[in-house]
């Protein structure tokens, strides 16, 4: 059965359409908002699609307005989706800290209270939202790539390594690379998944890289002046890639920090990387 949605806004952008939409999610039990840019090519048939997962505190809007992706996606003829990072609203569990609860879903399916009823972001991103978008927009679900920034980079890498049959390409900007051994990870994985660290392995890109890797190439960009390097632990993932001899590139970009100025700078590289692999 086709899922229903409502249009929040639609704007002309680089010959295509930047839309924002809202729907009732069965996975989260809440209303969820997402954005999708469709290039002009989508008026004539289905186009490849790139999923962009955002970081802590973000909504769909941050990357939509700050990442500068639309121009590159229009040139490449691919769509890009910006989901929200968590369920929101009255009755949804939250925390006073910015890095847990609403705005910090961490792209996992929570098994622990009070998070379990709504924080089912893995299922939402991997299954429910692609079905809704595939049924209602001109995207090719057989040509999907995934990327993300910070917490979203963590999500992109773990989802792609777990479901390589779904994603032909994967990249990341400044990912939380080893959450099992970071304060950006232990707190959230413990809260959402419980204290059994075996349950955390499926959501740690360094551990997944050691265990299975990714069948294609991987692109990762990290700023050398990132103020959160000690929390992100990029060296752990880089070492795991080398140990596995994982094809791809891990680029330490001199002078760049964790901001969207960094993401903007290399967004074109990432969009074209995915476009080549989704063609």
Q: How much of the chain, in percent, has pLDDT values that exceed 70?
A: 99
Instruction: Note whether 246 and 164 are within 8 A (CB).
Output: no
| Mean pLDDT taken over the chain | 97
Mean pLDDT of 5-9: 98
Q: In what order do the strands lie in the sheet with 6-13?
A: 6-13, 16-24, 31-38, 79-82, 47-53, 139-148, 169-173, 218-223, 248-253
Confidence at residue 2, expressed as pLDDT on a 0 to 100 scale: 64
Annotated active-site residue in 25, 54, 150, 205 = 150
Of residues 151, 127, 135, 145, the one with CA closest to residue 205: 151
Q: Is the pLDDT of residue 272 over 60?
A: yes
With a cut of 70, say whether residue 1 has pLDDT above it: no
In tens, the pLDDT along 196-206 reads: 999 999 999 99
Residues 85-127 have pLDDT tens digits of 999 999 999 999 999 999 999 999 999 999 999 999 999 999 9
Residue with tokens 């964790």: 258
Query: Which pLDDT does position 251 carry in this prediction?
Result: 98
Query: CA 52 to CA 274: how far, in whole Å?
Result: 12
Note if 149 is an active site residue: no
Q: For the residues 249-273, what does the mean pLDDT come to?
A: 98
Q: Which of 60, 154, 178, 258 is catalytic?
A: 258
Domain housing 186: 5-278
Query: Helices (H) and strands (E) in the chain — how many of each?
Result: 10, 9
pLDDT of 3 reads 79
Which one of the listed residues 182, 226, 236, 270 is annotated catalytic? 226
Residue 19 tokens, joined? 């839309």
Mean pLDDT of 59-80: 98
What pLDDT, in 10s, does the model give residues 214-228?
999 999 999 999 999
| CATH code: domain of residue 18 | 3.40.50.1820
pLDDT tens-digit readout, 27-55: 999 999 999 999 999 999 999 999 999 99
Known active-site residue 226: yes
Instruction: Provide the pLDDT for residue 268.
Output: 98
Q: Is 9 a catalytic residue?
A: no
Structural domain total, the chain:
1
Q: Taking residues 178-188, report their average pLDDT.
A: 97
């Amino acid at each position: 059965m086709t899922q229903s949605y409502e249009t929040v806004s639609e704007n002309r952008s680089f010959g295509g359409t930047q839309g924002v939409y809202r729907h009732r999610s069965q996975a989260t039990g809440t209303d969820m908002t997402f954005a999708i840019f469709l290039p002009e090519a989508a008026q004539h048939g289905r186009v490849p699609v790139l999923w962009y997962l955002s970081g802590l505190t973000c909504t769909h809007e941050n990357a939509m307005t700050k990442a500068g992706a639309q121009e590159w996606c229009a040139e490449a003829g691919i769509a890009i989706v910006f989901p929200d990072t968590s369920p929101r609203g009255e009755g949804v569990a939250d925390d006073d800290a910015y890095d847990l609860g609403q705005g910090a879903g961490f792209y996992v399916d929570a098994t622990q209270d009070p998070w379990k009823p709504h924080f089912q972001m893995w299922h939402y991103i991997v299954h429910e939202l692609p079905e809704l978008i595939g049924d209602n927009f001109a995207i090719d679900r057989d040509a999907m790539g995934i990327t993300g920034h910070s917490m979203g980079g963590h999500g992109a890498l773990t989802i792609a390594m777990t479901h390589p049959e779904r994603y032909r390409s994967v990249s990341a900007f400044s990912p939380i690379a080893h959450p099992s051994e970071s304060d950006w990870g232990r707190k959230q994985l413990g809260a959402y998944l419980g204290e059994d660290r075996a349950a955390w392995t499926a959501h740690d890109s360094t551990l997944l890289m050691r265990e299975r890797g990714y069948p294609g190439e991987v692109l990762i960009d990290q700023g050398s002046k990132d103020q959160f390097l000690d929390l992100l632990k990029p060296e752990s993932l880089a070492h795991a890639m080398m140990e596995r001899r994982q094809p791809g590139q891990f680029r330490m970009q001199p002078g760049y920090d964790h901001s969207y100025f960094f993401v903007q700078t290399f967004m074109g590289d990432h969009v074209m990387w995915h476009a080549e692999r989704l063609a």
